[in-house]
């Protein structure tokens, strides 16, 4: 697991096993995502797919450009895909139905035009100086103006129904958040019998999430805010209510409560993610989690890390 960014300004995580590598969310610009991958030693050309947890901008801002640039499929729930298309395509110019009709028409025209040139995928190598040598600005991609929701391939999945991408089995699960159909993921590397989980952007931890997070080897868990800092902070009251709601974000205290009461202790590493820059401090999130772990002698071998917003977190390899 390599966390490229985690926080309200953008989220992106790579999970890899065997010959398979997937990106969970693309919440930075395409150019910034490529920079982060180069810094982390990850090769963008090795990515097999992008998986989206939900349609909020800090999880999808670079999605379309990156997917087109690399020519890889994007996995959504159907509701999340619909919400993302609506977000990019104003209803005054194109509804989801009209967009779908347009895509079907374009596909038929492409099949009829046998002389049409093949699509070319530009592979980007993750050399140390790759970020300074990008041939074009991915954020200034002309086709975006015609159809901002164009993607090479779209694949739908349903929470609660596992599917496979190469060497990875993917188990999506529903999470409580104010989005169309938000989900977390558990990734199972079949060859090594290892499991990694991603659970951020959730207002609380319901029974289905507690069940999904059992028997994982690495856990990326939200620890978004300190309750007192949020209450005394600069956000408008309406935003504070949203963050504190059962479809908002997980507090340090709520994450610690899960680690104390419901966590089975199986993870080699726990990574605290999606920390608020305005309503949290890394020291507070870490202290709450360490105290929760310290209250259970059987968990003292667990390692706790923090995922940051500004730079990639060192890769976690098992």
112 against 28, higher pLDDT:
28
Check the CA dihedral 291-12-86-236 and report its sign. Answer: positive
Mean pLDDT of the 219-230 span: 98
pLDDT at 119: 43
The rounded distance, in Å, linking the Cα atoms of 171 and 80 is 17
Q: According to the model, what pLDDT value does residue 114 have?
A: 59
Distance CA 41, CA 250 (A): 30
Q: What is the pLDDT of residue 94?
A: 62
Query: What pLDDT shows up at residue 135?
Result: 37
Exposure of 251 by Cβ count < 10 A (0-12 exposed, 13-18 middle, 19+ buried)? buried
Question: What pLDDT is recorded for position 132?
Answer: 37
**pLDDT at position 302, please?**
84
**Residues 53-112: tens digit of each pLDDT:** 999 999 999 999 999 999 999 999 999 999 999 998 765 566 667 767 777 777 777 777
Whether pLDDT at 207 is above 80: yes
- pLDDT score for 115: 58
Average pLDDT in the 265-277 region?
A: 95
For residue 149, pLDDT over 50 is answered with: yes
* pLDDT tens digits for range 168-177: 999 999 999 9
High-pLDDT (> 70) share of the chain, %: 86
Q: What is the pLDDT of residues 156-205, one digit of tens each?
A: 999 999 999 999 999 999 999 999 999 999 999 988 889 999 999 999 99
Q: What structural domains and CATH numbers belong to the chain? A: 2-306 (3.60.15.10)
Q: Has residue 146 got a pLDDT over 70?
A: no
Output the average pLDDT for the chain.
88
Structure tokens at 1: 């697991």
The average pLDDT across 251-275 equals 96
Query: What was the pLDDT predicted at 78?
Result: 97
Phi and psi angles of residue 110, each rounded to the nearest 5 degrees, phi first:
-65, -40
pLDDT of residue 127: 35
């Amino acid at each position: 697991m390599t966390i490229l960014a985690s926080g309200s300004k953008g989220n992106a995580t790579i999970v890899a096993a065997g010959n398979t590598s997937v990106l969970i969310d693309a919440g930075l610009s395409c150019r910034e995502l490529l920079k982060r991958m180069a810094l982390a030693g990850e090769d963008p050309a090795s990515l097999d797919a992008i998986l989206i947890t939900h349609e909020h901008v800090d999880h999808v801002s670079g999605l379309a450009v990156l997917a087109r640039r690399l020519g890889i499929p994007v996995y959504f729930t159907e509701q999340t895909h619909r919400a993302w298309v609506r977000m990019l395509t104003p209803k005054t110019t194109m509804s989801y139905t009209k967009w779908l009709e347009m895509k079907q028409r374009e596909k038929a025209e492409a099949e009829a035009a046998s002389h049409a040139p093949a699509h070319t995928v530009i592979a980007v190598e993750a050399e140390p100086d790759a970020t300074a040598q990008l041939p074009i600005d991915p954020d200034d991609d002309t086709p975006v103006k015609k159809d901002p929701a164009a993607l090479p391939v779209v694949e739908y999945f349903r929470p609660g129904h596992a599917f496979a991408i190469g060497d990875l089995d993917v188990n999506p699960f529903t999470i409580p958040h104010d989005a169309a159909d938000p989900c977390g993921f558990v990734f199972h590397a079949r060859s090594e019998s290892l499991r990694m989980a991603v659970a951020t952007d959730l207002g609380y931890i319901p029974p289905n999430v507690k069940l999904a997070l059992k028997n994982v080897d690495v856990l990326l868990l939200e620890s978004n805010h300190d309750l007192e800092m949020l209450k005394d902070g600069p956000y408008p009251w309406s935003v504070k209510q949203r963050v504190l709601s059962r479809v908002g974000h997980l507090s340090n205290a709520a994450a610690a409560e899960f680690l104390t009461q419901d966590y089975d202790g199986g993870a080699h590493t726990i990574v605290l993610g999606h920390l608020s820059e305005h309503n949290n401090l890394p020291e507070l999130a870490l202290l709450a989690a360490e105290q929760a772990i310290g209250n259970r002698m059987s968990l003292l071998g667990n390692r706790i890390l923090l995922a940051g917003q500004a730079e990639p977190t060192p890769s976690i390899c098992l």
